[in-house]
Structure 1
Amino acid sequence: MRIILLILLFAIALLFFIFISPAQAAETSDAAKIFNSNCAACHIGGGNILIAEKTLKKEALQKYLKNYNTDSMAAIIHQIQNGKNAMPAFKSKLSEDEIIQVAAYVFQKAEQGW
């Protein structure tokens, strides 16, 4: 099962990178690049390939992230830094600035409806 999941993740990532046009690649923000490199394998399009209901859509963030309704950015930053359950922690993989950029990107995309 694990091998099938890894193959599926690899195939999704490969298709994602193959079908990005040069124009789109030039327009991609640093935050989007960081997200695509570190998060999109599991959260492509704001979804969640491991736990379907725990997406990055606003309703799911409100439901599953502690304190999201009082301080959205802090809640997203905390989740990125520390991870939880199947999600790994990124505080040792990404710089503080990169974490803030990704958190802002996730918040913005959630607000826009992915």
Structure 2
Amino acid sequence: MLRTAAFAAAIASAAAFSAPGPLTLRASAKEVTGVAKVAAAGAAILAAGPAFAGDVDAGEKVFNANCAACHAGGQNSVVPDHTLEKAAIEKFLTGGFNEKAVITQVTNGKNAMPAFGGRLSDDDIANVASFVISKSEEGWE
């Protein structure tokens, strides 16, 4: 369905910019409506979920290897109320609940949390931030 929507959009775009000539594009109202429905469904699929800057699956591996000692299951073994649950991130993380704020925290550290900038690559940090935000959205289940 997504390919059909993309194809329909490409054909419509090409038709809009082509010079008039012997080739004409004719479609019934029913066909145009069907194409519009497919395009709308494709757009809804693309917009349905959150977009993450990093790779969530790779971030899980980085998290398990570097963060889980203190943050297993989204908890915090050092400062118990500073968990990785959405409400706590919104309350305690400078910058709020978003990947950029998690990247800043992981890179620079803060209070009892050490800085991982220089120890982890920028890609690893972006991936772990995507993982943390994703899991927080899901409720760390």
Normalising by the residue count of structure 1, what TM-score does the alignment of the two structures yield? 0.72
Q: Match for residue 77 of structure 2?
A: 49
User: How big is the shift at 1:30?
Assistant: 2.0
Q: CA RMSD in A?
A: 1.3
2:58 is aligned to 30
Give deviations 1:58-103, integer Å, cap 9, x for gaps.
Answer: 000000011215xx11111000000111100000110000000000
- 2: CA distance between counterparts of 1:68 and 1:50? 20
Higher gyration radius (CA):
2
Q: How many residues align?
A: 85
Indicate the residue corresponding to 1:63 in structure 2.
91
Q: Which runs of 5+ in 1 are unaligned?
A: 1-28
Distance 2:75 2:117 in 1: 22
TM superposition outliers: structure 1 runs of 4+ over 4 Å = none
Q: 1:79 aligned to 2:105?
A: yes
Identical pairs, percent? 49
Number of the residue aligned with 1:12: none
Q: Distance in 1 between matches of 2:127 and 2:139?
A: 18
Bigger relative contact order, structure 1 or 2, given CA contacts below 8 A and separation 6+? 2
